Amino acid sequence: MAKGRTTTVFFCQSCGYESPKWLGQCPGCREWNTFVEETVEKKSAGRAREERKAAAAPVCLSSVPMDEEERVSSGLEELNRVLGGGIVPGSLVLVGGDPGIGKSTLLLQVCQKLSGDGREVLYISGEESLKQIKMRAARIGSFSDKLRLFCETNLDIISETIREVRPQTVIIDSIQTMYSENSSSAPGSVSQVREATSVLLGLAKGLGVSVFIVGHVTKEGTVAGPRVLEHMVDTVLYFEGDRHASYRILRAVKNRFGSTNEIGVFEMRENGLAEVANPSEFMLNGRPEAASGSIVACSMEGTRPILLEIQALVTRSPLAMPRRTAAGMDYNRVNLLLAVLEKRLRLQLSNSDVYINIAGGFRVGEPAIDLAVVLAVVSSARDRAVDEKTLAFGEVGLSGEVRAVSQAAQRVQEAKKLGFTTVILPEVCREQAGEIKGVRLCGVRTVAEAVEVIS
């Protein structure tokens, strides 16, 4: 095979930034010490041929047939939702996450469901032996013979096998262990990971197989992270969760076939991952009774309302610079809300430590939880518990006004479903929320009015 010219290039292993010389800090992602030297070929012969094969002649837009996009159910509703309704044949999906979070377990369960439905599935592992996979499978349950396992890391052999077996779904666990002979860098390096992905992309599009790629998120710069291939794949899912909590969240960061703000919630059990159909109930489990500094908020994750307990602890500080912490939400946002409280409600916080925590290790980026944070702080500062059947949501502005948030009706519905009787919400959203039997809606314009409601 005619080889191209080889040169050495330095790649940031975190984001894939390319540089002709070594750099201490990556200009792309600002990480330190992530550059590794790799040899690259200026267009390898095999790759060029692969690409030429895939390219077709130009066509008119009007002549492109538009049939209803076919989707295959993965058997896991939570995963289907994140994928935008199911698996699209011929799609390339990247599943990223920290080592040990449950990526292999999730995909093995998908294999179990798909093969159970009579589909040909090929699970290719470069990390574990057949025995190890068998042990994991034994915990999950019984499997159909439609599932075939293959322990291999050489991509040329893998491509050949896929062409031969013609499975409908292929799992690659993990991309960092795969290597192609077309690239001379070590497995796990940026150029090798990209080369491997482009081969898989060719297979997915050419044969119409759906390919799931596992990518480990790595802290050190020795192995290329999944971020370097986000632009190549159709869908990027991240599997995340607190090490100490049993629930796991599957989030789409990129999806060519659906929305990216949907989440799937799972719970890691003894026998694999279980779907959590009602995350609100799950998140509110173990809530303290009649404790000050605790109130429930409602955050929208895509089309799904999730109720979360917001906790605040305000204590006298022995420090000249009082401590503020925010677990589960933006630290600067917390400081801003505390400043609003000081200025608009004359609440003295300058000599108190303030700790904010979203129970259960959940992370929220939506400002709709502002009002609940503010009320939790007031409740803790006054050491007076808020009625436990009260829920609050709304964005808080700098002048202490409570601003509108989207989808108020869904939030109130969810509150009702879980037995809440009072909902404090922005006045402007009250009408939109409508009349709901059994729930008292308290529309508020300012933070002061909201505090009035809980006093």
Residue 443: contacted member of ligand TYD, Mg ion, none (CB under 5 to 8 Å, by partner type): none
Nearest to ligand TYD of 137, 450 (CB atom): 137
Q: Which stretch binds Mg ion (CB under 5 A): 55-63, 68-76, 99-107, 130-138?
A: 99-107
Quick check: 454 and 386 in contact, CB under 8 A?
Answer: yes
Nearest to ligand TYD of 267, 388 (CB atom): 267
CB of 218 to ligand TYD, least distance (A): 12
Nearest to Mg ion of 17, 266 (CB atom): 266
Residue 84: contacted member of ligand TYD, Mg ion, none (CB under 5 to 8 Å, by partner type): none
Q: At what angle do helices 155-165 and 190-207 cross, to 10 degrees?
A: 10
Is there a cis peptide before residue 174, judged by omega within 30 degrees of 0?
yes
Nearest to Mg ion of 74, 104 (CB atom): 104
CB of 82 to ligand TYD, least distance (A): 16
Return residues touching ligand TYD (CB under 6 A). 97, 99-105, 136, 139, 268, 270-272
Nearest to ligand TYD of 105, 177 (CB atom): 105
Nearest to Mg ion of 14, 104 (CB atom): 104
Residue 99: contacted member of ligand TYD, Mg ion, none (CB under 5 to 8 Å, by partner type): ligand TYD
Query: Residue number with the shortest CB distance to Mg ion?
Result: 104
CB of 110 to ligand TYD, least distance (A): 12
Nearest to Mg ion of 177, 352 (CB atom): 177
Q: Does 177 bind Mg ion (CB under 5 A)?
A: no
CB of 439 to ligand TYD, least distance (A): 38
Q: What is the DSSP string of 142-178?
A: ---TTEEEEE--BHHHHHHHHHHH--SEEEEE-GGG-
What helix, strand, coil percent values describe the chain, rounded to 5?
A: 30, 30, 40
Q: Smallest Cα–Cα separation from 84: which of 237, 216, 229?
A: 237
CB of 60 to ligand TYD, least distance (A): 45
Quick check: 248 and 98 in contact, CB under 8 A?
Answer: no
Burial label for 399, CB within 10 Å (0-12, 13-18, 19+), is exposed
CB of 271 to ligand TYD, least distance (A): 5
Q: Does 104 bind Mg ion (CB under 5 A)?
A: yes
Residue 33, phi-psi category: left (phi > 0), alpha (psi -120 to 50), beta (remainder): left
Quick check: 376 and 400 in contact, CB under 8 A?
Answer: no
CB of 365 to ligand TYD, least distance (A): 24
Number of residues lying near Mg ion (CB under 5 A): 1
Burial label for 321, CB within 10 Å (0-12, 13-18, 19+), is exposed
Residue 272: contacted member of Mg ion, ligand TYD, none (CB under 5 to 8 Å, by partner type): ligand TYD
Nearest to ligand TYD of 134, 256 (CB atom): 134
CB of 132 to Mg ion, least distance (A): 9
The one-letter amino acid code at 90 reads G
Return the residue matching tokens 């799937």. 264
Sites for Mg ion among residues 322-351 (CB under 5 A): none
Helix/strand/coil for 416: helix
Phi, psi angle pair for 230, to nearest 5°: -55, -35
Helix/strand/coil for 238: strand
Count, residues in the chain: 455
Q: Smallest Cα–Cα separation from 238: which of 128, 72, 102, 90?
A: 102
Q: Which stretch binds Mg ion (CB under 5 A): 9-17, 98-106, 395-403, 437-445?
A: 98-106
Q: Where on the chain is the footprint of Mg ion (CB under 5 A)?
A: 104
